[in-house]
Structure 1
Amino acid sequence: MVIIGLTGGIGSGKTTIGKYFKSLGIPIYIADKEAKALMNRSKVIKRKLIELFGESAYKDGKLNRPYLASKIFNDKILLDKMNAIVHPKVTAHFKRWLKKQNAPYIIKEAAIIFENNLEHQYDYIITVIADEDLRIDRVIRRDGTSKEKVKSIIANQLSDIEKIHKSDFVIMNNDLDEAKSQAKDIHSAILQKLD
């Protein structure tokens, strides 16, 4: 099975682009969504996260995301420890999901492919980019957060220029119709490569 990575910085619109590929009949695995689900569902992950962060890691039996975010935001060591707990479970879940798919290729949406040096796991990588002001506005509208917080997240992610350099395909997502047109062209190009 050909695995396509779909990545992009916060607010770039990669989930929207992923939905468009899904409308073309391509199965999509959203790594961040599955990670959150596993963090709530897996007894092993729960136990290990409580060992790492304390009882406050969960509130009323559910993952306490604001608490975890505040702990890992400026602590790379703690973030790495959390990822070492969660990522192997997500990888195993993805492999099980992959076996059930029947399509020319699948897309795995993951925000930090390059930051975690995971490009070798993909046959091709599509990066979604957008102007920074637009990305900030999108995230403020979506999450009800502050401009400063979004800017600090962007500053912690790899720049678009670095991502573009490492990608096989790039979608500029300032205008959704144009972005969908680019995605359709990429879909056709991938299908041609697979022939």
Structure 2
Amino acid sequence: MTLIIGLTGGIGSGKSTVSRFFSELGIQIIDADFLARQVVEKGQPALREIEQHFGHEVLMSGELNRPFLRELIFKNEQEKLWINNLLHPLIRAQIVDQLAKAKGDYVLLEAPLLFENNLDKLTDYDLVVDASPALQVKRACARDGAGEEVIYAIIASQIDRKTRLQKADFIIDNNHLARSALEKIVQQLDTQFRKLKN
């Protein structure tokens, strides 16, 4: 059996960089965000349902207008609930399917909402990449070009930092790490995870 390690962290924590380092070590990454994008691609039934629900403005050149939808659901709890009820079962089914096919000592399930969506029920251990909210906002604004207000709203919609850390089996404190130091930590964790398997 392949060991399943959940990888999560708040927006701007550096989770994607950590994931990339694991990938460079030959570890298979199952990316919940990537699967979430797949289920709403052009021609997918879920995209038609979203269009019927929100109207044509939610599409741009036949594809999902993500910034428009994000603004919409962060201001409206009911709409957020509707979209989650539609998409989460579809995404979870894809994740379960990919985990069943995974090979190697361990596989990483990268999911920003690992705990919020109870995806940790599918994992053996969970790794949290942590950063202070101020640093999260600074990084996310620089990366996404979004306003601070939007980033703070996303942070507020995610599980609180203290609870996330309590649920973690492994933590990377990514507040002031250089890239090389972060890469070294990933290499050490890779060794640990392989030992857990054996």
Task: Name the CA distance, whole Å, in 2 between partners of 1:42 and 1:31.
Answer: 20
Q: For residue 189 of structure 1, what is the aligned residue in structure 2?
A: 192
Please provide the CA RMSD for this pair. 1.7
Matches for 1:98-113 after TM superposition, within 5 Å: 98-113=99-114
| CA distance in 2: counterparts of 1:103 and 1:82, whole angstroms | 34
Task: Encode CA deviations 1:150-182: one digit per residue, 9 max, x unaligned.
Answer: 222222222222111001100111313332222
122 and 100 in structure 1: CA distance in 2 versus 1, 3 angstrom threshold: closer
Tell me which moved more, 51-60 or 107-116: 51-60
Which moved further from structure 2: 2-11 or 127-136?
Answer: 127-136
* 1:155 match: 156
Q: 1:132 — aligned with what?
A: 133
SS in 2 for 1:40: coil
Which residue identity is paired with 2:51? I
After the TM superposition, which residues 1-195 of structure 1 pair with which residues of structure 2 at under 5 Å, given as runs?
A: 1-174=2-175, 175=177, 176-195=179-198
Deviation at 1:57, TM superposition (A): 2.0
Distance (Å, rounded) in 2 between the aligned partners of 1:118 and 1:37: 18
TM-score normalized with structure 2 length = 0.90
Number of aligned residue pairs: 195
Tell me if the contact between 2:74 and 2:153 (Cα under 8 Å) persists in the aligned partners.
no
SS in 1 for 2:107: strand
**How far apart, in 2, do the equivalents of 1:142 and 1:109 lie?**
19
Displacement after TM superposition at 1:100 (Å): 4.1
Q: Which letter maps to 1:116?
A: N
Superposition deviation, residue 55 in structure 1? 2.1
Do the aligned partners of 1:172 and 1:179 also contact (CA within 8 Å) in 2? no
Q: Report Cα offsets for 1:37-87 as digits up to 9, x if no partner.
A: 321145211121122222222121110112211221032332222122222
SS in 2 for 1:112: coil
The CA distance in 2 between the partners of 1:166 and 1:116, in whole Å, is 13
> Would you say the 8 A contact 2:27–2:106 is kept in 1?
yes
For structure 1, the residue ranges without an aligned partner over 5 or more in a row are none
- One-letter amino acid of the counterpart of residue 47, structure 1: R
> In 2, distance between residues paired with 1:173 and 1:50?
39
In structure 1, what is the Cα distance between the partners aligned to 2:7 and 2:111?
6
3-state SS, counterpart of residue 39 of structure 1:
coil
Amino acid at match of 1:102: K
TM-score by length of 1: 0.91
